[in-house]
Amino acid sequence: MTEFHGQPLGTHIPDDLTIAQFILDAEHPIRAQRPAGAPWLIDDASGRKVGFEEIRTRTFGLANALSRRFNTREDDVVCIYSPNDVDYPPAVWATHRLGAIVSAANPGYTLEELVYQLEVAKASVIITHPVSVKVALGAAQRVGLPAERVVVFGSEPVSQCTTVDELVKEGLVHPPNFAERKLKKGEAKTKLAFLNFSSGTTGRPKAVMISHYGPIANVIQTAVHSEIHKTDKPWEERRFRPGDVSAAALPLYHIYGLVVVLHFMLFSGLSLVVVPKFNFKNFLDSIVKYRITHLCVVPPQVVLLCKQPIVKNYDLSHVRFINCGAAPLSGELMMKLASDFPKAHIGQGYGLTESATTLSMFSTETKFGVINSSGRLLPGVTARVVRPDGTSAGRNETGELWVKAPSLALGYLNNEKATKETFGEGWLRTGDEVRIDDKNEVFIVDRIKELIKVRGFQVAPAELEGTLLMHPDIQDACVVPVADDYSGEVPLAFVVLRPEATARVAKSPSEREKLKETIIKHTAENKVAYKRLAGGVEFIDAIPKNPSGKILRRVLRERVKEMWSKPKAKL
């Protein structure tokens, strides 16, 4: 079969280290040397700077207290259910010091969604934030965790919960209660570091098993691709320079924020301004205040940068790097970014939770990435483009992207069927239709999987359909994506009503709109914000299906496109 190869890696990937040991303890020949006094983390709200020694100290203190108080140990699971916080990284690394596993959760999750993740991951401790503590406590009660096992970031007591500050102090005044284990050679490839949840096409999110080796490999791959170790270019032309400052505004529970923003940027010698919650004006204020040079963003944030008039009030000329990921970015927006940020290196990257993370990124050969390309294959990545009949496509031919890479996840927790469908013989079947040109530029053509991408987050239609079918007036449902300038895509529901509801709607036009509103509200009450029916609800006589009962989702996707293309059409 035709295969496409990224450049040779040219350096080693340690396979006997945990992520905490790799970031906090180990040297590597291509690792950037941070300038003396340059902070690792900066708290966006207060301006507090956190240096290397303080991070190591807080990481140890928290690890020791988790071991003493909760007996957290090898292969236990700690769920971090929180927006970004300066203690989020130490919480991750403290868990890893103990040989335990981190399962990061979206702080916007509803009670039911968090309960599901806690049950699947079998978490024994929850670390949360004051804004999320109510749901965390409710979920803990549902899964049988005592309230004292819910820990809150910060120093202010919340309800009956212990704070991270209290645990750090406790851990530092007591002798070590744990012995950090040195992994055997090769063990990092199989030892679990993260259980990150990724939506599947068949229903609720699946727990992706990510080893310690995976993110370490991806950091090194990205570093080699980005040439952070090369000093032959003039200082002003280097893409990553120790002492630069990156915004950590993307959520750290998401694989993009977790691997690229947190671990890669720190490995590259940059300081991270930790932003708990994205607010566009505040974000612009922070870029200026902290002289932020590097922005990792998603398409909705690019839309704001390009289209909001308020941007003209800020001098952003010091921004040197803008990488967009999580969903494709239009050529028009790329060109507008290039016009508005003429000094910046601008382009796109591509990756998945299952590849932990980046598979391609825009080349360092030019400042501006190829329009509509998701970048070049990273060093160490091998790709195939596979046609529907299983044969191999050549260059500039379309098909499903299959990849091999050192960073690939190990599969899905307790889901052998899904693991076999997605991972096979060392290949990850991405579910994305692509073409690869003669320079190894990857162009995303379409998604073969049925996932909807809302602001870079995955939404499984089947999951929303399951929620819709719980509504007493709904007999059948199908969810499809609708194009949206801000979010990229949003879910729209085609709904078949029960006979009694159909009769009510027929008698009263006002009942039709009222019922749509109740259906939208029903979904909003049960799902995190990005999974809500922002595309609306359409009533339909029957959901198209094949003889075996499988929903013909493409038929309704085409219907949406037709309705959307009509000048006066309204969904």
Tell me what the pLDDT averaged over the chain comes to.
92
pLDDT digits (tens, 9 = 90+) for 451-493: 788 887 878 787 888 788 889 999 888 999 998 878 888 999 9
Looking up tokens 């200026």, which residue turns up?
A: 288
Average pLDDT score over residue span 186-208: 87
Least confident of 79-88, 107-116, 457-466: 457-466
DSSP reduced 3-state for 217: helix
Q: Which residue has the higher pLDDT, 8 or 445?
A: 8
User: Looking at the predicted structure, is the pLDDT value of residue 368 above 60?
Assistant: yes
Per-residue model confidence (pLDDT) at position 553: 80
- CA end-to-end span of the chain: 44
Q: Which residue has the higher pLDDT, 503 or 563?
A: 503
Average pLDDT score over residue span 406-413: 98
pLDDT digits (tens, 9 = 90+) for 411-424: 999 999 999 999 98
Tokens in use for 275?
């932003």
User: Looking at the predicted structure, is the pLDDT value of residue 60 above 60?
Assistant: yes
User: Looking at the predicted structure, is the pLDDT value of residue 566 above 80?
Assistant: no
Per-residue model confidence (pLDDT) at position 149: 97
Which of 350, 219, 201 lies closest to 210 in space, CA to CA? 219
Per-residue model confidence (pLDDT) at position 571: 39
Least confident of 202-206, 478-482, 522-526: 202-206
CA distance 246 to 157: 31
Model confidence at 134, in pLDDT bands (50, 70, 90)? Answer: very high
Per-residue model confidence (pLDDT) at position 549: 54
Q: Give the CA-trace dihedral at 538, 475, 203, 558, to 10 degrees.
A: -30
Q: Name the burial class of residue 448, with classes exposed (0-12), middle (13-18) and buried (19+) by CB atoms within 10 angstroms of its CB.
A: middle
CA distance 499 to 497: 6
Average pLDDT score over residue span 207-212: 98
User: Looking at the predicted structure, is the pLDDT value of residue 545 above 90?
Assistant: no
DSSP reduced 3-state for 499: helix
Question: Angle between the 509-526 and 461-468 helix axes, to the nearest 10 degrees?
Answer: 120
Tokens in use for 427?
């290949």
CA distance 449 to 354: 14
Least confident of 111-115, 386-390, 464-468: 464-468
Non-local CB neighbours of 364 within 8 Å, separated by 6+ positions:
225, 226, 227, 239, 345
User: Looking at the predicted structure, is the pLDDT value of residue 245 above 70?
Assistant: yes
Model confidence at 288, in pLDDT bands (50, 70, 90)? Answer: very high
Average pLDDT score over residue span 197-204: 68
**H runs (alpha helix) in 308-385:** 331-340
Which of 456, 449, 229 lies closest to 357 in space, CA to CA? 456
Tokens in use for 383?
């790709």
Looking up tokens 């890669």, which residue turns up?
A: 264
User: Looking at the predicted structure, is the pLDDT value of residue 570 above 50?
Assistant: no
List the domains of the chain with CATH numbers. Answer: 4-13+203-447 (3.40.50.12780), 52-182 (3.40.50.980), 452-565 (3.30.300.30)
Tokens in use for 2?
């035709």
Three-class SS string for 373-425? CCCEECCCCEEEEECCCCCECCCCCCEEEEEECCCCCCEECCCHHHHHHHEEC
Burial 452-479 (b: 16+ CB within 10 A, else e): bbbbbbbbbbbbbbebbeebebbebbbb
Per-residue model confidence (pLDDT) at position 563: 79
Average pLDDT score over residue span 150-173: 93
DSSP reduced 3-state for 287: helix
**Size (the chain), residues:** 571
User: Looking at the predicted structure, is the pLDDT value of residue 550 above 70?
Assistant: no
Q: 127, 102 in Cβ contact below 8 A?
A: no
> What pTM, to 2 d.p., does this model score?
0.85
